[in-house]
Amino acid sequence: MLRSGYPRNLMDEAIILHCQAYRETSLFVDVLTEGHGRLRLLSKGARRGRHALSHILRPFSRVRLSWVGRGELPLLTVAEPCEPSVCLEGTALFCGFYIAELLLNLLAPQDPHAGIFKLSFETLQALERGADLQWTLRGYEVALLEEIGYGLRLDADAEGRPINADLIYLYRVEEGAVQVTTGGREVVRGETLLALQQRHFSDDSQLREAKRLMRSVLRHYLNGRALKSRELFKPTQG
């Protein structure tokens, strides 16, 4: 049973990423915490009667949590809302699912990343405010990879030469941008690489190229795993 009387030093702020029903009354709750990284918690009785926590443990809400246990499935003991929080609707909600799926697949459990917590919450807030979905997602992808140590070199090519906006490149994940002379679906213009670095796109063609590039890069780090959230919405999928 969850109670309000608790030692405050046990609490950690978290973003709810995903909830899954477990048996008749409980929930598995995937969260990104500020101080402990990504966790999966078991919330016993969370869907039972007056103790139901569905209004608190909803995706992308910001909460304060306490739990016990150090194994693979700690037990959630306290959950309370935390302000400010986020409520996403429509296509922005699908973008939130995409962000959550990236976090669940790219972050190791119980590996704290305060920068990722801040980045993720600010991005969810931007989606709630109605920010451009494609610009927001591309910026998030680049920043997330930087935070986990997979940052892209977007200002210079594989030889260390500054990216030329007027040239075309093939981006190889382990090497960087390689200048090429012929086009094709996999090439990217120098202007697009620079726009992605600056998080500022001047036209839709840059956005399309950036989206294609980031899909290729993320596919590499996801080991080819497909993301279910991409099937939820078109044409503005992440």
The predicted structure's pLDDT at residue 233: 54
Asked whether 6 and 77 are in contact (CB, 8 A), the reply is yes
Give the helix/strand (H/E) hosting 25: none
176 and 156 within one domain: yes
Tens-digit pLDDT string for the chain (238 aa): 344 443 333 789 999 999 998 888 888 999 999 999 999 999 888 777 655 676 788 899 999 999 988 777 889 988 899 888 898 999 999 999 999 999 999 999 989 998 999 999 999 999 999 999 999 999 999 999 999 999 999 999 999 999 999 999 999 998 999 999 887 788 999 999 999 999 888 889 999 999 999 999 999 999 988 888 877 655 444 4
Residue 64 lies inside a defined structural domain of this protein: yes
Co-location of 130 and 180 in the same domain = yes
Measure the CA–CA gap between 226 and 5, rounded to whole angstroms: 43
Same domain, 14 and 104: no
β-sheet bridge partners, residue 13: 64
pLDDT score for 44: 86
Q: DSSP 3-state assignment of 104?
A: helix
Predicted pLDDT of residue 237: 46
Range of the domain at 144: 91-231
| pLDDT score at 24 | 84
The answer to whether residues 110 and 203 belong to one domain is yes
| Domain closes at, from 81, 102, 134 | 81
Q: 49: domain CATH number?
A: 2.40.50.140
Domain boundary among 57, 81, 105: 81
Last residue of a domain, one of 81, 112, 143: 81
Give the total number of structural domains in the chain.
2
Distance of alpha carbon 232 from the chain centroid: 16
| 132 and 224 within one domain | yes
58 and 113 housed in the same domain: no
What is the number of alpha carbons within 13 Å of residue 177 lying toward its C-beta? 28
Q: 61 CB contacts (<8 Å, ≥6 apart)?
A: 15, 16, 81, 85, 86, 87
Residues 102 and 200 in one domain: yes
Give the integer Cα–Cα distance in Å for 95 and 173. Answer: 24
Q: For residue 151, give the CATH number of its domain.
A: 1.20.1440.120
Instruction: For residues 59 and 119, give the distance between their C-alpha atoms in angstroms, rounded to a whole number.
Output: 17
CA distance 179 to 161: 10
Same domain, 146 and 44: no
Do 76 and 162 fall within a single domain? Answer: no
